[in-house]
C-alpha cells in the first residue's frame, strides 16, 4: 500500500514542507532509509544522519527544518508524529470475523459476530467476546471473562476466570491476566491456600507485554486503569491498583495490595513492596527497590551501580561496617572538640 505525505501530515497533526502527493510506503531509520521511506528525528544524537539520509521524507521538530534537504513533516513532538505515521502505514493484522474450525468455544460463551477466534484458541463458559475482538492462535480465555471491543490477544495469552478487559486492550503472547494471586494462611507451619475470588480488571487501552503476569484479586479486584502500559516479564500481584497512563518496564514486580498512582513510570527491574502507596507522577529508576510509600511526585532511586570487581570487593565489604564507621566518626568529632576547647583555653 502506501500513503501520501499529505495524508500522513493530517494523520500526524504535522505541518507539511514538501510534496503532498509523494507516496510513502515504509518507515525506516535515518541511517538505513531508502527511497519511499519516511524517517524521523527525535533524539539529537541522530541529527548527524539527517544530511545524508536517503529517506523520501523525515519527521522533525521545528528547529531541525533548516537542516532538511528532503520533504519533511514538522511537529513539536516528532516521536509522537512518528508513532501515528507508523500506525497508519503498518495497520494491525485485519480481524477476520468468525471462529476458526480448530478453535474451541464453549456453547455458553458469546462471541460477537465481528470478532475472530483463531486456530487452537479456547473460549470458556459464559465468556463474552466483544465487537471486533481478536483472540489469537493458541489463546485461552477461561470462564466468565469479558473482552471489550477492539481488544486483541495476539497469541498464546491466557485470561483467568472472570478477567475483564476494556476496549482496545493489547495482550501479548505468554501473558497471563487473572491467574491466582498468592494467598496463603499458615496452619502450624504448613500453608493453606486462600482461594482467590476477585478478578483482574483492566480498563481501556491497556497493553500487557509477553510473559507478564497480572494476578487476580484475593477478594476485591486487581485494577489496571485506562491507558496503562506494561512491558514484558512484569509481575503485578493481587489487589494491586495502577492508575491511568502509568507505564511499567520489563522485569518490574509489584507486591500485593500496593497502589500506584496515575502518570507514573516504573523502570526495568524495579521491585515495589506490598501494601504501600505511590502518589501520581512518581518515577522509579531502574533496579530500585521501593520499600515504603512515596507521597510526593518526583524521581526515586536506589540503584547500586556496577563497578570493577576488585573495587567492589574492597568497598562493599565495608557495607556491614557503616554503622561502626559512623560511631568512630562521632567519637573523633567529640575528641576533636575537646582538643579544640583545650587548645583555645591554652592560648
Task: Name the region of 98 (left: φ>0; alpha: ψ -120 to 50; beta: rest).
Answer: left
CB of 198 to a second copy, least distance (A): 10
CB of 46 to a second copy, least distance (A): 12
Distance CA 285, CA 157 (A): 29
72 near a second copy, judged by CB under 8 A: no
Residues 240-279 that bind a second copy (CB under 8 A): 245, 247, 249-251, 253, 255, 263, 268-269, 271, 273-274
Stretch of 17-25, 53-61, 126-134, 323-331 contacting a second copy, by CB under 8 A: 323-331
- Kindly list the catalytic residues: 238
Full strand arrangement of the beta sheet holding 207-208: 98-99, 116-117, 134-135, 152-153, 170-171, 207-208, 229-230, 247-248, 265-266, 282-284
Nearest to 74 by CA among 7, 3, 2, 12: 12
Reduced to 3 states, what is the DSSP secondary structure of residue 185?
Answer: strand
**Quick one: 146 or 158, whose CB is closer to a second copy?**
158
CB of 28 to a second copy, least distance (A): 6
34 near a second copy, judged by CB under 8 A: no
Give residue for cell 470462564: 143
Q: Which of 35, 66, 107, 343 binds a second copy (CB under 8 A)?
A: 343
Residues 148-177 that bind a second copy (CB under 8 A): 154-156, 158, 160, 170, 172-176
Compute how many other C-beta atoms are within 10 angstroms of the C-beta atom of residue 148: 22
CB of 43 to a second copy, least distance (A): 9
209 near a second copy, judged by CB under 8 A: yes
CB of 24 to a second copy, least distance (A): 14
203 near a second copy, judged by CB under 8 A: no
Residues 37-66 that bind a second copy (CB under 8 A): none
237 near a second copy, judged by CB under 8 A: yes
**Quick one: 115 or 175, whose CB is closer to a second copy?**
175
β partners of residue 259: 241, 277
What contacts 118, CB < 8 A, 6 or more positions away?
A: 100, 103, 134, 135, 136, 137, 138, 139, 155
CB 21 within 8 A of CB 6: yes
Task: Name the region of 323 (left: φ>0; alpha: ψ -120 to 50; beta: rest).
Answer: alpha
98 near a second copy, judged by CB under 8 A: no
Residues 291-310 that bind a second copy (CB under 8 A): 291-292, 294, 298-309
Amino acid at each position: 500500500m502506501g500513503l501520501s505525505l499529505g495524508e500522513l501530515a493530517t494523520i500526524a497533526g504535522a505541518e507539511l514542507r514538501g510534496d503532498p502527493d509523494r507516496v510513502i510506503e515504509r518507515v525506516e531509520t535515518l541511517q538505513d532509509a531508502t527511497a519511499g521511506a519516511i524517517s524521523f528525528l527525535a533524539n539529537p544524537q541522530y541529527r548527524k544522519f539527517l544530511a545524508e539520509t536517503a529517506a523520501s521524507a523525515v519527521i522533525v521538530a521545528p528547529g531541525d527544518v533548516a537542516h532538511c534537504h528532503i520533504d519533511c513533516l514538522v511537529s513539536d513532538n516528532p516521536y509522537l508524529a512518528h508513532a501515528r505515521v507508523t500506525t497508519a502505514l503498518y495497520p494491525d493484522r485485519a480481524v477476520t470475523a468468525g471462529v476458526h474450525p480448530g478453535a474451541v468455544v464453549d456453547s455458553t460463551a458469546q462471541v460477537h459476530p465481528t470478532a475472530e477466534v483463531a486456530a487452537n484458541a479456547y473460549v470458556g463458559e459464559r465468556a463474552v467476546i466483544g465487537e471486533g475482538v481478536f483472540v489469537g492462535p493458541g489463546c485461552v480465555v477461561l470462564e466468565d471473562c469479558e473482552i471489550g471491543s477492539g481488544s486483541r490477544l495476539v497469541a498464546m495469552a491466557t485470561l483467568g476466570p472472570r478477567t475483564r478487559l476494556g476496549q482496545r486492550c493489547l495482550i501479548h503472547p505468554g501473558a497471563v491476566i487473572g491467574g491466582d494471586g498468592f494467598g496463603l494462611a499458615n496452619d502450624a507451619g504448613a500453608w493453606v491456600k486462600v482461594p482467590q475470588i476477585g478478578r483482574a480488571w483492566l480498563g481501556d487501552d491497556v497493553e500487557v507485554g509477553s510473559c507478564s503476569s497480572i494476578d487476580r484479586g484475593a477478594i476485591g479486584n486487581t485494577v489496571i486503569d485506562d491507558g496503562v502500559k506494561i512491558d514484558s516479564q512484569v509481575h503485578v500481584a493481587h489487589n494491586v491498583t495502577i492508575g491511568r497512563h502509568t507505564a511499567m518496564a520489563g522485569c518490574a514486580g509489584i507486591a500485593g495490595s500496593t497502589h500506584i498512582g496515575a502518570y507514573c513510570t516504573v523502570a526495568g527491574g524495579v521491585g515495589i513492596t506490598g501494601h504501600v502507596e505511590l502518589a501520581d507522577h512518581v518515577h522509579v529508576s531502574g533496579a530500585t527497590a521501593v520499600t515504603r510509600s512515596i507521597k510526593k511526585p518526583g524521581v526515586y532511586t536506589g540503584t547500586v551501580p556496577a563497578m570493577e570487581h576488585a573495587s567492589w570487593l574492597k568497598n562493599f565489604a565495608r557495607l556491614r561496617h557503616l554503622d561502626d564507621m559512623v560511631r568512630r566518626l562521632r567519637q573523633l568529632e567529640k575528641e576533636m572538640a575537646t582538643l579544640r576547647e583545650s587548645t583555645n583555653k591554652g592560648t
